[in-house]
Amino acid sequence: MQTLLQINVLPEIAVHEHLLKQYLATELQIEEKQITGIKINKRSIDARSKEAKIFLDLTVYINEALPEKKNYTPEYPYVKNKPVVIVVGFGPAGMFAALRLIELGIKPIVIERGKDVRTRRRDLAAINKEQIVNPDSNYCFGEGGAGTYSDGKLYTRSNKRGNLKKVLETLVAHGAKEDILIDTHPHIGTNKLPNLVTAIRQTIINAGGEILFDTRVEDFIIHDNCIKGVITQTGDKIEGLATILATGHSARDIYYLLDKKKILIDAKPFALGVRVEHQQALIDSIQYHCKTRSEYLPAAPYSLVEQVEKRGVFSFCMCPGGFIVPAATSPGEIVVNGMSPSKRDSKFANSGIVVSIELEDFKKYESFGALAGLKFQQEIEHKAFLLGGKTVAAPAQRLCDFVDNKLSASLPETSYQPGITSALLTEVLPYHISSRLQLAFKAFDKKMYGYYTNEAVLLGVESRTSSPVRIPRNSETLEHPQIKGLFPCAEGAGYAGGIISAAIDGERCAEMCFASLHHRLLNK
Ligand SMILES: Cc1cc2nc3c(=O)[nH]c(=O)nc-3n(C[C@H](O)[C@H](O)[C@H](O)COP(=O)(O)OP(=O)(O)OC[C@H]3O[C@@H](n4cnc5c(N)ncnc54)[C@H](O)[C@@H]3O)c2cc1C
């Protein structure tokens, strides 16, 4: 017999199977030995009440064997000699587009400006230790894209649940822990992502796909408004029946190229602000309503939002037990972001706190047309570079000092490796952003008492939340309205935000690309 149950239990019960069995036996009024198996369907933390509990949705097997586990094993046909589609960018979108193309019997040639994941690591060390930013290999560019050295949180607001399940299962088939299939807030961790990305690369190569690293697309081959291929930095021409453009939101040269070639792009709203760092112990005590966190609970996350003078101010990519990292993609700019290892065991909690930016907020730049938001973003990142001391060191200010607009006489310890420099962040951020942040930080303290403290530090700037440019596409065919065979994809095109939604959009672009080729070949 099987019984479905939803329970809220103490964390130690949720992690110890024998305690969980005892609990369930009492709950179901049966003997413990009658419970032959427990399958957890969903798991989340419920920290609303005084004592944090774990919510479990489970199936209890009573006097009946647990069915054999059937893991999803995707099948990839051999496509070496099949029609070719070009995928530009090997981030989550490019990876999942390539996998889906293979499933559909198409050979992907993936073109990636950065290096393979192992070699890329050296360039990350150079940013942190020698302050050198390689414009082709950094925290955003290289195998796995911005997703590889990301935090690896896998939540999405995307409502395409079917695709979500498949993406998560594909990640598990390539080495991610099965926990991501049941956790409400799944997380992989930056230390686990490189192996996963390597396994996906291997799948693509084994199936006859191609991946070209250290290869930057610098031009498109277009005849009669139809894309025939791309030209790389060495002048090589690579041809394909269609091109999926999945270059992420930091590939400014791609936006410049599109603009120069008069291929339609639009300015779009985005968000910009700072990254705040607290001691994780403080966040744990606020969120779990206790002095110290139970050893059975993970480092506590938080999510904050406040409406300030008609703009949303909200936490973005919160990383419990994590690190702040330098995410610039060119010399002369400061961009910060956050990540955490799978155990989330650093003593710091960081989060982007950003203000939504509407088109009217960067009117001053309207002479740049579709690139107005990008110019606005770029100028702020450059100011942060100048104030940080013209290295990768970030300008920083204690939280209450920022609100009082006072230069911090000293700065607290931080997880940000390249170092921080005391500065007035109001000199980096325009007034419409800094004044809203100041009001929001005070308001956040009403939701999380103790959050507003001068022991917390702000680093500038959190500017790459989403793309300031949209590459338009037909909402059904996903093809660019002007260039046949061009599929603007995921975050860089303005249709995704985060690993999972980018992966889902990659799959969708591959499917629509397949449908369009099918249609074209039939009508030949
Ligand atoms: C530090 C950090 C932490 C993050 N944490 C999370 C998180 O926890 N959860 C989450 O959901 N999201 C997180 N993100 C965001 C997430 O990584 C992105 O949303 C996601 O990677 C976007 O996927 P994408 O494939 O659209 O683009 P990208 O991942 O940006 O990939 C684009 C790829 O295109 C390549 N490229 C660019 N231009 C060219 C060119 N001209 N020629 C060839 N190749 C090119 C780039 O090198 C890059 O590899 C984080 C990002 C960072 C930087």
- Spans of all domains in the chain: 2-62, 84-264+471-522, 267-462
User: What is the pTM assigned to this prediction?
Assistant: 0.96
Confidence bin at 365 (pLDDT 50/70/90): very high
pLDDT at 158 > cutoff 70:
no
Question: For the segment 305-360, what is each residue's pLDDT rounded down to a tens digit?
Answer: 999 999 999 999 999 999 999 999 999 999 999 999 999 999 999 999 999 999 99
pLDDT at 161 > cutoff 80:
no
How many Å lie between the centroid of ligand 1 and the Cα of residue 404?
35
Site to probe by mutation for ligand 1, drawn from 123, 150, 215 as the one with most ligand atoms within 8 Å of Cβ, is: 150
Distance CA 203, CA 143 (A): 14
Bridge partners for 484 per DSSP = 226
* Rounded mean pLDDT, 388-410: 96
Confidence bin at 236 (pLDDT 50/70/90): very high
pLDDT of residue 157: 72
Domains 2-62 and 84-264+471-522 share a fold: no
Distance CA 28, CA 31 (A): 9
> Structurally, what CATH architecture does the domain formed by 84-264+471-522 represent?
3-Layer(bba) Sandwich (3.50)
Nearest to 44 by CA among 183, 188, 186: 183
- 7: part of which helix (H) or strand (E)? strand 2-9
Return the beta strands (E) in 97-167 as ranges. Answer: 107-111
pLDDT of residue 160: 63
Q: Which CATH code, of 3.40.190.10, 3.40.50.150, 3.30.70.2700, 3.40.50.300, is assigned to 2-62?
A: 3.30.70.2700
Distance CA 177, CA 84 (A): 33
| Residue the block writes with tokens 């139809």 | 226
Q: Give nearest CA residue, ligand 1 atom 19.
A: 498
Question: For the segment 57-84, what is each residue's pLDDT rounded down to a tens digit?
Answer: 999 999 998 888 888 899 999 999 999 9
How many Å lie between the centroid of ligand 1 and the Cα of residue 313?
23
How many Å lie between the centroid of ligand 1 and the Cα of residue 440?
28
Percent of the chain with pLDDT over 90: 93
Angstrom distances, CA of residue 175 to CA of 178, 188, 192, 193, 201: 9, 10, 9, 9, 13
pLDDT of residue 46: 93
pLDDT at 122 > cutoff 80:
yes
pLDDT at 242 > cutoff 90:
yes
Query: What's 142's DSSP letter?
Result: S
Q: Which atom of ligand 1 is nearest to the CA of 257?
A: 41
Q: Is 16 left (phi over 0), alpha (psi -120 to 50) or beta?
A: beta
Question: For the segment 171-191, what is each residue's pLDDT rounded down to a tens digit?
Answer: 999 999 999 999 999 999 999
Confidence bin at 50 (pLDDT 50/70/90): confident
Pick the more confident residue, 9 or 151: 9
**Residues near ligand 1 (Cβ within 6 A):** 88-94, 111-114, 139-142, 145-147, 149-153, 216-217, 246-248, 251, 253-254, 317, 325, 327, 337, 339, 490-492, 496, 498-500, 502
How many Å lie between the centroid of ligand 1 and the Cα of residue 115?
14
Question: For the segment 486-504, what is each residue's pLDDT rounded down to a tens digit?
Answer: 999 999 999 999 999 999 9
How many Å lie between the centroid of ligand 1 and the Cα of residue 317?
14
